[in-house]
Amino acid sequence: MTTPRSAALSGQTAGVAYAGAAYLLWGFLPLYFLLLAPTGPWEVVAWRVLLSFVFCVLLLSVTRGWHALIAIVRRPRLLGWTALAGALIYVNWQVFLIGTLTGNVIETSLGYFINPITTVLLGVFVLRERIRRLQWAAIGIAAVAVVVIVVAYGDFPWIALSLTASFGIYGLIKKRIGAAVDAVSGLTLESFWLIPIAVVQLVIVASTPEGITMGQNGIGHGVLLAFAGVATAVPLLLFAAGTRRIDLTVIGMIQFITPIMQFVIGAAVLGEPMPVERWIGFIIVWIAIAVFVVDLLMTAARGRRAGAVGAL
């Protein structure tokens, strides 16, 4: 017989599995996109948008989710939020592809290392949330890391900062929307708003000497490029399934899977340069993350103790 406690544990286990799978897939994305050469970042993002939309439409048909989508379409305010979310995720996708395909995978990992701290800052300045001292300490240490990278390494990390800003604000909008927009409907609408941009990008790419690469580099390349929609949608849907089942504290712990994998891929697999100045900057970032994680663990422990006392 299934007890409420065993059902809750089963749900949490499933949630960790879903979210962990999402972060693992996101971690492997640089290697996947590198397999798409000679396709450039602008063409890849265009196909990513169009094929994500096609994949989501198929999902809506299979899961009979059209009623939920129509309900969202009837609410102009929600439509506006999905359009803004689409613009932000477009910036995130485009910058990520530019970083990945120009030999800057390590810098993309920096953006996702900093992302949790960016989310906290957005909560303070936009949602007027109060944060704890250790969280302030983590923010300060991360700011020092960015300054070190800019001054000592001599290169402004625009890729990292663009990624963390776009994905952080995207997450904030998702939080504002809440349960009013389900994962599949949300991604469908976000992709829909971006279709004109994707079409324009393909037209521009077609006018260049290289032209559009889809169908021009063998069946294998064409299949890999066509898979871009699935590779985009599946992690997002797994992430949505995971976050519904587990606490944000757990999400905060396992989300570092992605930047760790990207850093290892960039440094160990692709051999991107890591001079001493850059190592110093990353080490300071990791110290900030350690402070952030300690705060998460301490807060979770206090919550469990308070719950145990309340149950007495």
| pLDDT of 2 over the 60 cut | no
Q: Letter for the amino acid at 295?
A: D
The residue with greater pLDDT, 2 or 211, is 211
30: tokens are 């640089």
Q: Which residues contact 281 (CB under 8 A, 6 or more apart)?
A: 110, 145, 146, 148, 149, 152, 153
Mean pLDDT computed over every residue of the chain: 87
pLDDT of 154 > 70? The answer is yes
- Enumerate the domain spans of the chain: 14-305
Nearest to 293 by CA among 250, 233, 261: 250
What pLDDT, on a 0 to 100 scale, did the predictor assign at position 198? 97
Q: What is the pLDDT of residues 190-225, one digit of tens each?
A: 999 999 999 999 999 999 998 999 988 899 999 999
Average pLDDT over residues 130-148: 85
This prediction's pTM:
0.86
**pLDDT band at residue 8 using 50, 70 and 90 as cut-offs:** low
> What is the mean pLDDT of the segment spanning 101-126?
87
- Candidates 38, 184, 158, 142; CA nearest to 94 is 158
195 in Cβ contact with 145 (< 8 Å): no
Query: Would the pLDDT of 92 be above 90?
Result: yes
Q: pLDDT band at residue 45, thresholds of 50, 70 and 90?
A: very high
Chain centroid to Cα 154, Å, comes to 27
For residue 283, the 8-state DSSP code is: H
Q: Has residue 58 got a pLDDT over 60? A: yes
* Structure token digits, residue 84: 């803004």
Residue 237 pLDDT > 60, yes or no? yes
For residue 309, the model assigns a pLDDT of 59
**263-282 pLDDT, tens per residue?**
999 999 999 998 888 899 89
Which of the four pLDDT bands, split at 50, 70 and 90, describes residue 252? Answer: low
